[in-house]
Chain A
Amino acid sequence: MNEGRKMQLKVLKKTSQELKFEVEGEGHTFWNLLESVLLEDDKVEFASYNVPHPLISNIIVSIRTKEGKKPEEALQEAVDKALQRGEELNEAFIRALEELNK
């Protein structure tokens, strides 16, 4: 896997309710989490990533949304949610460290 390499994205299919793209540079570490966050959204009907070959890091991501939300909007929201949780975790960790050093 080429994890840690610069991200490269190619859109394969794009309509108002459906999005499919091929992306390089990240693997299960990133996509498994983002997939699970996407699926928390009620407006997301389907979200999945596929690793066509374990030694090649071209990952195919498919998202289908319900009416009223575009897939890219769902993606943006999921990314924001994930970032916020990372930030929360970071703060919680720093707080716990400070408490320990008291």
Chain B
Amino acid sequence: MDLRILEKNENSMRFVVTGISTPLANTLRRIILAEVPCMAIDDVIMIENSSVLHDEILALRLGLIPLKTDLDGYNLPEECTCNSELGCNLCRVVLTLDVEAVDETRTVYSEDLVSEDPNIVPVSSKIPIVKLAPGQKVRLEAYAKLGRGVAHAKWQPVSACAYRYVPTVEIDKDVCDNCGDCVDVCPVGVLEKTEDGVKVVNEFECTLCEDCVDACKKNPAAIKVSGNREAFVFYIESTGALPVERIITEALEIYKSKFKEFANQIAVIRNGSEKTD
């Protein structure tokens, strides 16, 4: 098993893993999408809302604002000992919003939300929430909680998480007549026409669309593209709620706990007596 990071930015990462199976890659992807927790506004108490948006729409828009998450400092509500509907200070953060447009039209932005915890704030300050006309007012209290993507997409820590096979592009030099049709048709510029024939210059970017194979006039085609089923290019883009590397390590931690939990269940099977239905 080998892992190489190709690219890492503030909120995204691209890496290649070789020597894993498709089910393992898919499990990792599914855990990242649905089971790595992050914070989002879940309950909203409206004190006053004279804006044009209904309470429900406003609450939905607040829920969809990604919040910077502190996974170590907070509990998941279902695992918290408080058992309270609105949570305690170990499983929720209160954000308040109190904005009034006095003389001019005013847009309410995510930066207007005042959090009780300086670490749990919207990832971006300029996410518009609602536009207020003079005299309109919004006052509310929002409860942010940890949750998982399986319950609602607002708890997904990633905006994109996908993998694809590592591509291989091969040209049969004996058959290729260097017509260049495949070069023109490639949408990502994998091929280049040279005097010595068509060359593969950017193999890694190939999306396996096979347009080049269709464009080839030879039969069978002089060009062959295939994906390596044991090597994957992962692309993960965080919403900003958690650093990308934390999302991956957290996902692998969840992976481990899943199998550990099932290992305990095997003991239940072992101890049971034989039975037939």
Contacts and interface: CB of A to CB of B under 8 A. Distances in A.
B274 to A, nearest CB: 5
A14 B275 contact: yes
Interface string B248-277: 110010011011111101101110111111
B20 interface: yes
B252 A86 contact: yes
B162 interface: no
A85 interface: yes
Chain A, interface residues (CB within 8 Å), range: 35 or more
A33 B24 contact: yes
A79 B263 CA distance: 7
B26 interface: yes
A89 B266 contact: no
A82 B259 contact: yes
Contact of B252 (A28, A89, A95, A97): A89
A16 B270 CA distance: 11
Q: Would you call the interface of chain B mostly helix, strand, loop, or mixed?
A: helix
Nearest to A3: B150
A83 interface: yes
A13 B275 contact: yes
Interface stretch (B28-36, B61-69, B119-127, B186-194): B28-36
Contact of A36 (B21, B35, B266): B21
Interface string A1-44: 10110010101111110011101001011101111110000000
The listed residue with most A CB atoms (<10 A of its CB), out of B20, B21, B27, B259, is: B259
B245 interface: yes
Given A4-B150, A83-B256, A36 B1 contact: no
B3 to A, nearest CB: 4
A87 B259 CA distance: 12
A95 B3 CA distance: 8
A72 B268 CA distance: 10
The listed residue with most B CB atoms (<10 A of its CB), out of A3, A20, A76, A87, is: A3
B2 interface: yes
Given A29-B35, A79-B262, A89 B20 contact: yes
